[in-house]
Amino acid sequence: MSLFWRMFLSNAIVLVIATGLLIGPWVTVSSPVLVHEALVLCGGLMAMLVANGLLFRIGLAPLKRLTKAMADANLLEPGQRARVTGRGELAELTESFNVMLGRLESERAESSGRVLSAQESERRRVARELHDEVGQTLTAVILQFKGIADRVPTSLHEEVVTAQETVRGSLDEVRRIARRLRPGVLEDLGLPSALRALVTEFSAPGVTTSHRVDGSLTALGAEAELVLYRVAQEAMTNAARHSGASRIGLELRTAGGRAVELTVSDNGTGLRHAAEGAGLQGMRERALLLGAALTLTSRDFGGTTVRLRVPLLTEGAT
């Protein structure tokens, strides 16, 4: 039954009952209206309003559920659908919304894939230029300083050496940035080695890092390995720079032979209901590419756990 006819029949039933009571022997109205008659009429009016309100609430409940589903829909958390109940226009509207949401999720995944692919290409280009251009220039400057240090007076020797070490530190920083932009160890040695190197990179005074990486993981494919690496990199960056954590742990393991699970946990300040920034949204978009499940858990006493579960296809690892 359509929404129009449900609302119409609900009001018609209430009005028919009210008319039957008025023309029947149970209700009489004097002129002027007596007090008890006015009370009966007011009571009948209230009963009609209550009945009408209840019928409207029941009839419009599916529309309210659909409105809530629309408000809660998040393309970065796929799989959310509005519950279809009954038949008629509201059921058709709910089904149409679910179809539209699925199409939007698919289009968002495709567009995110193109954007992330372009980002990775740009990262490789910038890393290559840093390594080939800036890195070689700084290396040449270090060699020039070395030659100058051998010829300058003794009084200036210490200053030249200090300048040389400053340039050497800048060269190390450029190389570190280039490695983060283009994880060569991931391409050369695979995901387990890349994750171990990543954890080592975040070790610093006051920060203890640990890792448990299953080295016997089935090959996941270049795209899946890159997603896992980038999510681990972003999670550890957030823990080291923003949470004030003193312990950061990383674990990569197989989950029941049907998925690979990456977990990054820390003992920092936690999310504290903060709005998700570009980093967390980037992790969700990367997870969306693989149909993976990304969950973030923040404990009341401090600490955050980022867990990425990447499903394995039945045909083999991807």
User: How far is the C-alpha of 84 from the C-alpha of 86, rounded, in Å?
Assistant: 7
User: How far is the C-alpha of 20 from the C-alpha of 225, rounded, in Å?
Assistant: 74
Task: Answer whether 269's CB lies under 8 Å from 294's CB.
Answer: no
Cis before residue 25, ω within 30 degrees of 0? Answer: no
Token representation of residue 8: 């119409």
* Mean pLDDT within 122-138: 81
Across all residues in the chain, what is the average pLDDT? 79
Residue 215: what are its φ and ψ, rounded to 5°?
-75, -10
List of E strands, the chain: 208-213, 247-255, 259-266, 293-298, 304-311
Residue 304: what are its φ and ψ, rounded to 5°?
-135, 140
* Mean pLDDT within 128-149: 83
282-315 per-position pLDDT tens digit: 888 888 888 888 888 887 677 889 999 888 764 4
Overall pTM surpassing 0.75 (yes/no): no
Q: Which residue's entry shows tokens 């002129």? A: 31
Whether the per-residue pLDDT at 115 is higher than 90: the answer is no
Whether the per-residue pLDDT at 26 is higher than 90: the answer is no
* Mean pLDDT within 124-150: 83
Lowest mean pLDDT among 18-27, 81-90, 193-202, 282-291: 18-27
244-291 per-position pLDDT tens digit: 788 899 999 887 778 889 999 988 887 766 666 777 888 888 888 888
Sequence-ordered list of residues with C-beta below 8 angstroms from that of 171, at least 6 positions apart, any chain? 135, 138, 139, 142
The pLDDT, as a whole number, for residue 251 is 92
Q: Provide Rg for the chain, Cα atoms.
A: 33
Which DSSP helix (H) or strand (E) runs through 236? helix 222-241
